[in-house]
Amino acid sequence: MKMTLVIAALAAMVANAGEIRALVPCPADAEWTKSWWMPRHEEKMKAVAAGGADVVFIGDSITHYWETNGKPVWEREYPKALNLGFSADRTEHVLWRLEKGGELDGYKAKCIVLMIGTNNAGHFPFEKEPPADTILGVREILRVIMEKQPEAKIVLCSIFPRGADAGDPVRLRNDVVNRELVRFADGKRVFWCETRDRFLTSDGRLSRDVFHDLLHPNALGYEIWHETIAPMIDAILAGAPCRGRHAPVMFQTGQSRFREGEAVFPVSRIRSEGYGDFDWWLDRVLAKRREIVSSDGEFDIVFMGDSITHNWERREKCRELVEGLRKKYSVLNIGYSGDSTQHLLWRAKNGELDGYRAKCIMLLIGTNNFGHNKHATPEGVAAGIKAVLDVVREKQPQAKVLLLPIFPRDEPGSQMREKVEKANSIAREFADGKDVVWVDVYSRFLDKDGKVKWCMPDKLHPNEEAYRTIWLPAVEGYFEEFCGKTAK
């Protein structure tokens, strides 16, 4: 039976070779699977068959070690709980255990404590496992838990801090993930439990007196973890209102918004649209990461931007134009409707420029900064464009960049039009004419009176004719120059 499960899982891995690693259910590495991982799973399945438990802990070695480093507090406080922590597990391993292995089947838990993700960052370099993938993996685990245990409440713990100080590169990756995971806590089924402030000093240092190897807590660390989660578990078991534990100010920086500085501060739009469980923005991140992972590691052309770029995919005639390009080039469109510079900056930093090499990147961003924030200034928006451009140059240094001006919007002489034109006058200085080329199409959208209605009926988005007769001709020659004409 054991080998059958392993073979089936390995076959699934091959079948999903183009899928995001963090989302493909699979057992642990082959050697561990044979020596202890599958035997541990089978041992846990005996507990499942015996009726499971009201309280279930799910995770990696940090959860696993409740049975060693944390044994005194576990035996005192959680003698009837079920520990589904497996050392070195990543999100994909947890998914296998829950989805394929049956560890949540056949019983009704009341409270499930989940903490997972540190090994996704710790076992692979950034470009192989960017934060976006880990976030998507945890979201999928939550989906499976809610499907398998529809009556259970979930305590979602922040990934524990690791490394000596705040500059530790893996801790920084985990911090990006934590800032987004908190958004999955709806206060109804999923409750956030912030733990990092309980372990760190005021200057962000992690003491070996609590984490001997700067990763795994000792006995004192487990006492602290218990004290942090116990009020939430007790409330859930008692059927009382559960209050999530959120971070103090020092841990909230990643979710702050600033009027003038927001354009250069990376921020996602995960679960921020008011659509409940429907999160189109993160679903699009998932789709684009899948395109990247399933590629051959190279794209000729990458479109970056907001709805104006997104519309190359959404409008029928624009899709036809892109399909024409795809006869010659490989194309990735990472335009997202509604995005401002800070949202594109988050995507650029956390997965959408990783795992491939681009030849030509076309960047158009900034109009929503003005449209969504009345306090936005041309200088601030231009700084946001520069921040995005800097990340592009850092992550894709070999690519040529086509920097487009923010397209004209509103009427001539309006405050909005003046702000856009001022931001463009600043941004065009970011182009050196060699690695970054300014593509000045701004005036081509205007009639003799400076109006845009003929090609932008809503005074913001170009119509399909404008994509065909203005935008594409302005950049097609650069595509040929930077990518060549080798047929795909």
Q: Of 467, 466, 456, 363, which is closest to residue 410 (Cα–Cα)?
A: 456
Q: Tell me the C-alpha distance between 379 and 263, whole Å.
A: 10
Q: For 444-453, how does the pLDDT look when each residue is reduced to its tens digit (9 = 90+)?
A: 999 999 998 8
Does residue 414 lie within any of the structural domains?
yes
- The sign of the dihedral angle between the CA atoms of 366, 367, 373, 376 is positive
Q: Which of residues 205, 223, 255 is at a domain's end?
A: 255
**107 lies in the same domain as 244:** yes
- Are 93 and 71 in a shared domain? yes
Mean pLDDT of 92-118: 98
Q: Decide if 436 is inside a domain.
A: yes
The residue from 228, 255, 282 where one domain ends is 255
b or e along 129-149 (b: 16 or more beta carbons within 10 Å of the residue's beta carbon)? bbbbbbbbbbbbbbebbbebb
* Whether residues 149 and 251 fall in one domain: yes
Q: Are residues 235 and 312 in the same domain?
A: no
> What is the pTM assigned to this prediction?
0.92
Taking CA atoms, 409 is separated from 80, 371, 445, in Å, by: 63, 10, 10
287 in the same domain as 243: no
- Name the pLDDT band for 262 (thresholds 50, 70, 90): confident
488 falls within a domain = no
For residue 140, CA distances in Å to 93, 99, 284, 290, 332 come to 12, 10, 15, 15, 24
CB-based contact 446:410 (threshold 8 Å): no
Residues 179 and 321 in one domain: no
Same domain for 305 and 409, yes or no, is yes
- Confirm whether 264 is domain-assigned: no
- Listing DSSP states for 251-285 in one string gives G-GGG---TTTGGGS----TT-SS-TT--HHHHHH
Buried b (16+ CB within 10 A) or exposed e, 307-332: bbbbbbeebeebeebbeebeebbbbb
Q: Which of 66-70, 214-218, 257-261, 311-315 has the lowest mean pLDDT?
A: 257-261
How large a percentage of the chain has pLDDT more than 70?
91
> Do residues 170 and 280 share a domain?
no
- Is the C-alpha dihedral spanning 213, 214, 220, 224 positive or negative? negative
Q: Do residues 223 and 316 share a domain?
A: no
- Residue range 74-95: average pLDDT? 97
The residue range of the domain holding 165 is 2-255
CATH at residue 14: 3.40.50.1110
**Domain tally, the chain:** 2
Domain edge (last residue) among 224, 255, 286 = 255
CA–CA gap between residue 160 and residue 170 (Å, rounded): 11
Residue 65, pLDDT above cutoff 80: yes
Average pLDDT rounded to a whole number, residues 392-398: 98
Residues 197 and 286 in one domain: no
Identify the CA nearest to 403 among candidates 393, 417, 395.
393
Q: Is residue 413 part of a domain?
A: yes
Please write the tens of the pLDDT for every residue from 397-417: 999 999 999 999 999 999 999
Question: Residue 248: what pLDDT?
Answer: 66
Q: Which residues are catalytic?
A: 307, 458, 461
At residue 77, the 3 state secondary structure works out as helix
Q: Assess if residue 262 is contained within a domain.
A: no
Mean of per-residue pLDDT scores for the chain? 92
* 180 and 328 co-located in one domain: no
Asked if residue 184 lies in contact with residue 139, where contact means CB atoms within 8 angstroms, the answer is yes
What is the sign of the dihedral through the CA atoms of 370, 374, 378 and 379? negative
Placement of tokens 């354009």 in the chain: 263
pLDDT at 14: 36
Q: Which pLDDT belongs to residue 273?
A: 57
Task: Answer yes or no: do 307 and 344 share one domain.
Answer: yes
pLDDT band at 256 (very low <50, low <70, confident <90, very high): very low
